[in-house]
Amino acid sequence: MVGLVIVGSAGAVLVLYAADRVRKARARARWLRTMSDRLDAAAARAEKQHEQRQVAAQTREALTSVMPAIKHPPLNLPGGPSRGRRGRPGSVASAPDAGITDPGAPVARPPRPASRPAPRTGQDGDELPGRPEGSPAG
């Protein structure tokens, strides 16, 4: 009788283990199917975007081959002020007196103030002894 209970228990454990493996295999198959669907959708979106970019690039190329001035607009427009070096900040055209005739001339800037080294101080903020100001470096 005891042997029959042991064999029955072992059989039940094996059946439960097999049922668990089947359940996990189905869940994994469902997950793989979902991921495959998501990957297919992402690939389709990427392909559509790629085609749109190709069409846009071909359109740009066709337009600039007919109208090459789109690639490089003129520096000066007839009857308008000069933009200097393509109107970059710091160029003559962005200065307040943009009527200067030399567009390549740099903008004058005020000189920088001379920097002085910071005084040497100790941990408590007191100035450390050093050479007096104005003495030659030694």
Domain boundaries, the chain: 22-62
Would you say 125 and 117 are in contact if contact means Cβ atoms under 8 Å apart?
no
Q: Quote the DSSP letter at residue 22.
A: H
pLDDT (tens digit, 9 = 90+) per residue, 79-89? 666 655 555 54
pLDDT band at 2 (very low <50, low <70, confident <90, very high): confident
Beta-carbon contacts of residue 99 (< 8 Å; ≥ 6 apart): 81
What is the C-alpha separation between 61 and 54, in angstroms, rounded? 10
C-alpha distance from residue 41 to each of 18, 19, 27, 53, 55 (Å): 35, 33, 21, 18, 21
Model pTM greater than 0.85?
Answer: no
Per-residue tokens: 64: 């600039």
